[in-house]
Amino acid sequence: MDYKHLAQDLVAQAQKLGATESEVYLQYRDRFEVNIRQGDIETLTRAASKGLGLRLFVEGRLGFGYTSDFSPDTLENLVKKTLALARESTPDEYHGLPQEKVSELPELNLFDPHLAEVEDETKINMARDMEKAAFAYDARINNTEESRYGDHIGTVIIANSRGLLSSYTTTSAGLSCTTVAEEQGRKQVGWWWSHKRFFKDLASPESIGKKAAHRTVRMLNARKVKTQKVPVVFDPQAGASFWQAIFGALNGDAVYKKASFLAGKLGDKVASDWVTLIDDGTLPGGLGSRPFDGEGVPTRRKIVLEKGILKTYFYDTYTARKVGASPTGNAVRDYSSTPIIGPTNFFLQTGPHTPEEIIASVKNGLYLVWMMGMGANPVTGDYSRGAYGIWIENGELAYPVHEITVAGNMEEMMKNITMVGNDLEFMGAIASPTFKVAEMTISGR
């Protein structure tokens, strides 16, 4: 089936039946996944899927429908029913398609032509080798929750009544290992992973298994610490989790509704000089890269905070129109949903310090390696999350700690970042180097 022609045809049908503006967002993808436990295949999945979403506007009224059935009768009914929904909805002057559209697609290096050639047996053996390496690392590793390999090949096509017809294809492959360690009846769980656009760029299964085992074993015999205010060093994974919460406060819709602690602060100093935040959908090979967003608006590189000064918020087309701004290329979606605001490659720019130098600068504090729960409030900036990590004494990692809570205010935390590491590595679309917050409250015993 010619999916581009199908998308164009549905747009034409909708326009002929009375839509003011029409858009088709179509996806099709193939995925493979295997999970190994104790050397045996626990799950093995190979699946293909497709679907399209239809957004129709009738004089400021929006209707949306979607389907995974591409039969002519189903698609004809989808157009008619979506038009009927649009005609019944409440008019909104800000509804409509973007004026901006991608013209020439940049080369972002998002597709691995060799991924489809990798044998299933090779992928299964990689998952097995990862688990073997974890077990071999330390006798206290006695189980795994998963040793998983997964990949996908996917294509996005977008067509609309403003003349847009464009598409791109991406690949990704990933290995992840979650291990369980036990000593004297006490258990700990830890994990590690590698996620890349190109199969050849994956870390070796052995290195991932060993890293997962190391991160698990080092947390054995963790203890509580007393409640106190100390410096906190965020490792890259904990850091990425923090910046994800900050992204929520930069969402233009939340800002418009005054539901963000960063509302009204464009041009203000909201972080220390160490903080330069970037969102860049054009990074070659980036896990968050794409030539255009979920509405067909070109993605681009944006400096969001520059040396602590707030430069921009994030907008989709609808929110941008409400505030008199331009969309930023941050509309994200699946075929079964309308666009929302999300990141591309969102990251803290690197600093000059090694992680070891940052740790060595702390006499008494916490090296934070993981956080749990949803304790980030984008409205007030309050931040309080369950956590575990390793206690720092006299500039060295001393012993593991758990059952603690780290708390602060997100703006104050950003203003109190005093060191930033040089160890930025993208393991997802949101990434961070190691960084130090001068003081946070640790709640323990």
Burial class of 306 by CB neighbour count within 10 A (0 to 12, 13 to 18, 19+):
middle
Tokens of 8: 């164009």
Question: In this predicted model, what pLDDT tens digit does every residue of 183-236 receive, in sequence order?
Answer: 988 999 999 999 999 999 999 999 999 999 999 999 999 999 999 999 999 999
Contact 196, 111 (CB under 8 A): no
DSSP labels, 156-225:
EEEEETTS-EEEEEEEEEEEEEEEEEEETTEEEEEEEEEEESSGGGSPPHHHHHHHHHHHHHTTTT-B--
Q: What pLDDT sits at residue 422? A: 98
| Phi/psi at 6 (5° precision) | -60, -45
Spatial distance between the Cα atoms of 280 and 208, rounded to a whole number of angstroms: 27
**Parallel/antiparallel/unpaired status of strands 277-280 and 346-348:** antiparallel
Burial class of 51 by CB neighbour count within 10 A (0 to 12, 13 to 18, 19+):
middle
Under DSSP, is residue 350 helix (H, G, I), strand (E, B) or coil?
coil
Under DSSP, is residue 86 helix (H, G, I), strand (E, B) or coil?
helix
Question: In this predicted model, what pLDDT tens digit does every residue of 311-345 receive, in sequence order?
Answer: 999 999 999 999 999 999 999 999 999 999 999 99
**Parallel/antiparallel/unpaired status of strands 417-420 and 165-183:** unpaired
Q: What pLDDT sits at residue 351? A: 98
Tokens of 282: 């054009």
Burial class of 357 by CB neighbour count within 10 A (0 to 12, 13 to 18, 19+):
middle
- Structural domains in the chain, CATH included, are 3-217 (3.30.2290.10), 223-445 (no CATH)
Taken in order 170, 75, 335, 147, the sign of the CA dihedral is: negative
Question: In this predicted model, what pLDDT tens digit does every residue of 109-140 receive, in sequence order?
Answer: 999 999 999 999 999 999 999 999 999 999 99
Contact 34, 124 (CB under 8 A): yes
pLDDT less than 70: residues of the chain: none
